[in-house]
Structure 1
Amino acid sequence: MNIRYPAVAGSFYPESAEELRQTLNQLLTKAPKNSCHPKALIAPHAGYIYSGPIAATAYNTLADMADKIHRVVLLGPAHRVPLRGIAMPDTDVFRTPLGDITVDQKALDQIQMLDCITTSGQAHAWEHSLEVHLPFLQQTLKDFELVPLVVGETEPEVVANVIETLWGGEETLIVVSTDLSHYLKYQDAQKQDYTTTEAIEHLTCHIDGQQACGCNPLNGLLLATQHHHLKLTTLDLRNSGDTAGPKDHVVGYGAYAIH
């Protein structure tokens, strides 16, 4: 069995299973509740001390759906390696301190012949944009398989086609991982992230990398949302100056539900 081991346990989130469960419970308990029954979520991927409260707001929407979701399609940007197209993993399992998550090989078989798809263990090995979501999924869902996809430079139509292929029914949840503005002063970040959020709410498929580091998977999801005539709701919009960091150099975080 090929295993993708945790790369950022002990830095982005606790390495101890007991401490990680406690952290997740605290974050989810403190976060607002919203039972909008999402088909897709957009949530951030920084260290839990910074973006965890915002991510928890997104994952709290799954409370009434946990027994129905059996597959999670998780898309995030490539931070560690240059990448064109979309990279599938070369592993059977993604491991976290909370246990192993099986990769849905049948789902990967569905998309592997698409032009944009490659297999790259290197793209996944150190990528935190997917990993930080896994403990939240393990804590909020019951029994699910994972379709982890690292998205590089890719047109929205291409990403949307992959999402459409894997859309499924109520058994499938789609999660796009992205932060918003990076390293602006607090008030400047608030203004930019508000403008970006307005664009996201209008399902604009031209978000750029200055607005959201996960713009490529995000734009693809927004285009797919247009096709399905779904609604997008903003659940939370804050930055690291609101959670744990200084206010002169912040990163923006948003949580959104598509339903």
Structure 2
Amino acid sequence: MVAVVRPAAVAGLFYPADPAVLSAEVAALLDAASVAPTARAPKAVIVPHAGYRYSGSVAAQVYADLRRWRDQIERVVLLGPVHRVPVRGLALPAAQTWATPLGEVPVDTGALTRLADLAQVVISAAAHAWEHALEVQLPFLQGVLRCFRCVPLAVGDATAAEVAEVVERLWGGSETLIVVSSDLSHGHPYAQARRLDTESVQHILALEAVLDHGHACGATPINGLLLAARRHGLRPELLDYRNSGDTAGDRTRVVGYAALRFVDRDDAAAVH
């Protein structure tokens, strides 16, 4: 049977379509990042998903340190909100492979069987077809990891508890990284956005699963991750916060971007 491939939908829009240009841009963003390394690989991260010219430098703060774990991380669970096609629950793709200009990433079909009995998990090619929130993470992951499989989950109308249940099923060990793709506030003046986003980040750092979609478009997957992180004793760290007024836009109506990682509570940043 020929594998169904989910082609790149937003190459040339959110990030470069030319493989050489894309590879060079990702490498430049990663090389410009400056974050204290951790003693062990983070278990989970929250990263923004706007066009690279807007949020790529913020996302790179999370991804740069993952190069140290390129041979350890073999599976990436991707969770992000649906922007175009509504769905009840969490949608898996119909495809067995996801493509970007940098190559193809296999879907972890074995992991999907562990979700088969969950009523909140559905299969929807439509929910993934034009969705950018997960796709824009893949070139970064391809740039930092040697070889990995992905579990792409487009999160629609679901509760935080339903998301957390899925995350628990896929938690795995040190080979598994959980990536939640979300921007923060949308469409507010610069100063107001900073106030709103500071509040949202404080909730995340306190592992308080109380965000709504005014705080973040990916509030539902973030809240689900926070429930699981609290249960597993993870400690969130803020690596960067900026908004589009800081990166590539004007300051009249901005979108907020935060980069966070979740590590074991006893894992201090490495000093060398």
TM bucket, shorter chain: over 0.9
| Helix, strand or coil at the partner of 1:73 | strand
**2:58 alignment partner in structure 1:** 54
Please identify, of 32-41 and 212-221, the stretch whose mean Cα deviation from structure 2 is larger.
32-41
Matches within 5 A, 1:217-236: 217-236=221-240
Judge conservation of contact 1:50–1:240 (CA < 8 Å) in 2. yes
**2:267 alignment partner in structure 1:** none
Consecutive unaligned residues of structure 2, counting only runs of 5 or more, are 264-272
| Helix, strand or coil at the partner of 2:177 | strand
Matched, 1:213 2:180: no
Superposed displacement of residue 115, structure 1: 1.1
**2:203 alignment partner in structure 1:** 199
**1:31 alignment partner in structure 2:** 33
Matches within 5 A, 1:78-93: 78-93=82-97
Superposed displacement of residue 33, structure 1: 2.6
Judge conservation of contact 2:35–2:239 (CA < 8 Å) in 1. no
Judge conservation of contact 1:38–1:61 (CA < 8 Å) in 2. no
1:194-249 CA deviation, whole Å, 9 max, x = no partner? 11100110011110000000011110000000000110000000000111000111
Please identify, of 60-69 and 243-252, the stretch whose mean Cα deviation from structure 2 is larger.
60-69
| Helix, strand or coil at the partner of 1:129 | coil
Aligned length: 259
| Helix, strand or coil at the partner of 2:143 | helix
Matches within 5 A, 1:97-116: 97-116=101-120
One of 134, 140, 146 as aligned partner of 1:142: 146
Superposed displacement of residue 63, structure 1: 2.2
| Helix, strand or coil at the partner of 2:58 | helix
Partners of 2:211 and 2:36 in 1: how far apart?
26
- State the identity %: 49
Superposed displacement of residue 31, structure 1: 1.3
One of 246, 250, 253 as aligned partner of 2:254: 250
Which residue type is aligned with residue 213 of structure 1?
Answer: C
Partners of 1:140 and 1:130 in 2: how far apart?
16
Partners of 1:244 and 1:31 in 2: how far apart?
17
Partners of 2:262 and 2:142 in 1: how far apart?
20
| Helix, strand or coil at the partner of 1:41 | strand
Matches within 5 A, 1:120-199: 120-199=124-203
Superposed displacement of residue 179, structure 1: 0.1
**2:17 alignment partner in structure 1:** 15
Partners of 1:245 and 1:26 in 2: how far apart?
20
Q: CA RMSD in A?
A: 0.7
Partners of 1:212 and 1:194 in 2: how far apart?
12
Partners of 1:115 and 1:21 in 2: how far apart?
39
Please identify, of 56-65 and 3-12, the stretch whose mean Cα deviation from structure 2 is larger.
56-65
Q: TM-score, normalised by structure 2?
A: 0.94
Which residue type is aligned with residue 146 of structure 2?
Answer: K
Judge conservation of contact 2:182–2:219 (CA < 8 Å) in 1. yes
